[in-house]
Amino acid sequence: MGERGFLETGTRLCSRYWPFLRYLLVGGWNTLFGMGIYALLYRWLGERFHYLVLLVPANILAITNAYLGYKFIVFRTSGNMVREYLRCYVVYGGMMILSAGLLFVFVEYLKLNPVYANAVCVLVATVVSYFSHKHFSFR
């Protein structure tokens, strides 16, 4: 394959997989952001509030951050912002319930530190949410 054929093949592959690569980049940022927000809240408020209660404000901030990244960088939709934002909450509401259940099991039964347990939960939620957003939030 000549240089031109290699470049054309590379360009086709990039254009085909670029939306997923953008998702991975934004998802990586969202993962770090969500874990960081939870860790900060736990550090600042962990002695006054139960670790599960801290999921609520952490998720509100993380969902808003994720929505903006998915809307403008990944899916680049022109749909109704309020409708898409609310759909993100539906997806992430399910993810929050799943995360809360997993977090409870990891902390109470496996005796993991809440911050480390939350990191695992965020990673699971990132993978599941891609398909939910692609086929529901930003369809």
Can you give the pTM of this predicted structure?
A: 0.68
Q: Is residue 3 part of a domain?
A: no
Give the count of domains, the chain.
1
Per-residue pLDDT of 101-120, as tens digits, reads 989 999 999 999 988 998 88
Task: Kindly state the average pLDDT of the residues 120-125.
Answer: 80
Instruction: Determine, yes or no, domain membership for 6.
Output: no
What is the distance between the alpha carbons of residues 71 and 73, in angstroms, rounded to a whole number?
Answer: 6
Asked if the structure places residue 58 within a domain, the reply is yes
Q: Mention every residue, 6+ apart, whose C-beta is less than 8 A from residue 22.
A: 73, 74
Residue 133 lies in a domain: yes
Q: Is residue 48 part of a domain?
A: yes
Q: Let me know if residue 118 belongs to a domain.
A: yes
Q: Which residues of 26-50 are buried (b: 16+ CB within 10 A; e: fewer)?
A: bbeebbebbbebbbebbeeeeeeee
**Is 117 within a domain?**
yes
Question: How much is the average pLDDT of 67-74?
Answer: 91
| Full domain range(s) for residue 128 | 18-137
